[in-house]
């Protein structure tokens, strides 16, 4: 690796020759600047990931700071670890009760949808753009999946509510389709050279990667959950450290055994996040912060790797490639993958439009460097151009698309509580969070009318930006987030009561 820093072409200094403090200053300044500009991205509806990429490019070789960075392998490693944390954090915050109704739709989009996108894009690249078949299929594989970091980020910062189930479906798809895209990319690269793998070997690799990824994700996720509750550490600050190390353990062990590490960490996150463990809320908040840091570092690194002056050389080609992917390939794959499911055409169009490309395709575009393909630089910059197009065109217009298709819904609040409840494994009482759905029959009722189990107690209500300590005469409102102290076994009844639709008393 060679990193060079300078303010002009005539003054070029190797970064590693500068003192350590200066390197730390440069890195911290870029991160602080990225965080500071988040308010700008929120105000103008610009995806924050686009801000991070832009800062990286401005700091890079063709930018203001002239940091010269060309280590594609390091970028791949940094990006892979960062993506593992992002997927794990996304899994932690995935509500299994919301995922279950859309599980098979998500699986279909994450597998069949990826394969169809790869094939359709490859045919376009070969027969319309004139690429060699290997390069055509490589481009199709690299851009075949939606990006978890981009989708999680945009959906959670756009302040746009969608019809029930759509957000969960989009997050499930983006969190589960990266493994197949990675496998397709490495498989196509395997055909470069004289020792190409047979189709039987590829089929077995697919089965092995997915089965081991799922099994290890389930097992390791459960063991981590049990370990978090049993270890009884004296210092609360060690729990986030333990959880972070566990993410790396799941990722590395699954990869070494031959499973798909991205699928494993995502499933492990879902397993842990849907169970009660010690200091759960503080750990979830910590992992959310780590996920943000990983997004910033990953996109800054990817921005540094890009030479903006070389993007212009693929601009015309990139526009044709991007437009076909967004307007033709993605919608065709979504409509075909959802055949047989009860999804109306407007929902399919929205799912197609939220198929954002982000860090994952750029990271996959660094894989050809390892094979020393002569076209690797062109592939990288073409994919980078496609990601920029996706974030600019799709990422900024998601709220408009939701309204245009008539799929908007009231935005569910994300609660933030002023205290922490420590769930003990040996205790049969848990502090759980429930949302009063919009349109629920419970809206307008007093607390004493809710017919909750006698041993359950609503300890706090999060409404808007305020916290309410309820009494029996407190009325329920749409979107209220309830913090309920309840014994094991009562969760299902409470959820059924709140989700019951029908006649409601107006508040």
pLDDT in tens, 402-422: 888 888 766 555 555 555 555
Per-residue pLDDT at 370 exceeds 80: no
Q: Which residue has the higher pLDDT, 422 or 447?
A: 447
The domain at 32-405 falls in which architecture? Up-down Bundle (1.20)
pLDDT value of position 373: 81
Residues with Cβ within 8 Å of residue 59, at least 6 apart in sequence: 30, 65, 67, 300, 303, 304
pTM of the complete model? 0.75
Are 68 and 3 in contact by the 8 Å Cβ rule? The answer is yes
CATH 1.20.1530.20: which residues of the chain? 32-405
Structure token digits, residue 285:
């908040």
Per-residue pLDDT at 31 exceeds 80: yes
Kindly report the backbone phi and psi dihedral angles of residue 243, in degrees, each rounded to the nearest multiple of 5, phi listed first.
-65, -40
d(C-alpha 82, C-alpha 359), whole Å? 10
Q: Which residue has the higher pLDDT, 202 or 258?
A: 258
CATH 3.30.70.1450: which residues of the chain? 429-499
481, β-bridge pairs: 435, 462
What dihedral do alpha carbons 450, 456, 457, 460 form, nearest 10°?
-80
d(C-alpha 314, C-alpha 384), whole Å? 10
pLDDT class for 1, splitting at 50, 70, 90?
very low
Has domain 429-499 been given CATH number 3.30.70.1450?
A: yes
pLDDT class for 329, splitting at 50, 70, 90?
very high
The DSSP secondary-structure symbol of 366 reads T
pLDDT class for 323, splitting at 50, 70, 90?
very high
Tell me which residue of 102, 103, 106 sits closest to 114, measured CA to CA.
106
What dihedral do alpha carbons 147, 1, 190, 265 form, nearest 10°?
-40
Residue written as tokens 């991007």?
322
């Amino acid at each position: 690796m060679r990193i060079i820093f300078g303010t002009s072409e005539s003054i070029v200094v190797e970064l590693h020759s500068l003192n350590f403090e200066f390197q730390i200053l440069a890195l911290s300044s870029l991160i602080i600047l990225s965080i500071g500009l988040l308010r700008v991205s929120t105000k103008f509806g610009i995806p924050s990931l686009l801000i991070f990429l832009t800062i990286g490019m401005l700091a890079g070789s063709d930018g203001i700071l002239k940091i010269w960075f060309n280590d594609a392998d390091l970028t791949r490693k940094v990006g892979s670890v960062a993506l593992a944390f992002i997927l794990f954090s996304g899994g932690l915050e995935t509500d299994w009760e919301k995922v279950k109704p859309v599980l098979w739709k998500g699986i279909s989009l994450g597998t069949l949808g990826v394969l169809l996108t790869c094939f359709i894009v490859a045919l376009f690249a070969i027969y319309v753009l004139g690429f060699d078949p290997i390069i055509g299929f490589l481009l199709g594989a690299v851009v075949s999946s939606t990006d978890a970091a981009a989708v999680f980020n945009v959906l959670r910062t756009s302040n746009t509510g969608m019809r029930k189930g759509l957000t969960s479906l989009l997050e499930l798809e983006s969190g589960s389709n990266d493994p197949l895209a990675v496998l397709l990319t490495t498989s196509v690269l395997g055909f470069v050279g004289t020792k190409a793998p047979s189709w039987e070997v590829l089929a077995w690799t697919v089965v092995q990667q997915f089965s081991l990824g799922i099994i290890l994700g389930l097992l390791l996720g459960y063991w981590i959950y049990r370990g978090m509750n049993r270890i009884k550490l004296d210092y609360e600050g060690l729990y986030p450290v333990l959880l972070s190390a566990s993410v790396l353990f799941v990722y590395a062990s699954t990869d070494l055994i031959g499973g798909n590490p991205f699928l494993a960490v995502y499933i492990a996150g879902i397993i842990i996040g849907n169970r009660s463990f010690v200091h759960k809320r503080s750990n979830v908040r910590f992992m959310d912060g780590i996920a943000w840091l990983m997004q910033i570092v990953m996109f800054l690194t990817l921005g540094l790797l890009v030479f903006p002056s070389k993007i212009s050389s693929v601009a015309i080609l990139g526009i044709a490639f991007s437009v076909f992917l967004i307007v033709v390939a993605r919608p065709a794959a979504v409509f075909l993958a959802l055949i047989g499911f009860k999804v109306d055409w407007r929902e399919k169009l929205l799912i197609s439009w939220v198929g954002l490309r982000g860090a994952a395709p750029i990271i996959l575009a660094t894989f050809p460097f390892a094979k020393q393909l002569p076209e690797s630089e062109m592939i990288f910059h073409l994919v980078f151009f496609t990601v920029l197009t996706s974030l600019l065109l799709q990422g900024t217009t998601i709220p408009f698309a939701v309204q245009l298709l008539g799929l908007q819904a009231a935005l569910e609040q994300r609660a933030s509580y002023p205290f922490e409840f420590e769930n003990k494994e040996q205790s049969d009482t848990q502090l759980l969070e429930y949302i009063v759905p919009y349109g629920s029959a419970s809206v307008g009722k007093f607390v004493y009318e809710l017919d909750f189990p006698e041993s359950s107690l609503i300890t706090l209500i999060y409404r808007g930006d305020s916290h309410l300590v309820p009494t029996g005469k407190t009325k329920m409102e749409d979107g209220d987030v309830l913090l309920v102290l309840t014994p094991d076994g009562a969760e299902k009844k409470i959820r059924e009561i709140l989700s019951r639709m029908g006649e409601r008393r107006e508040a």
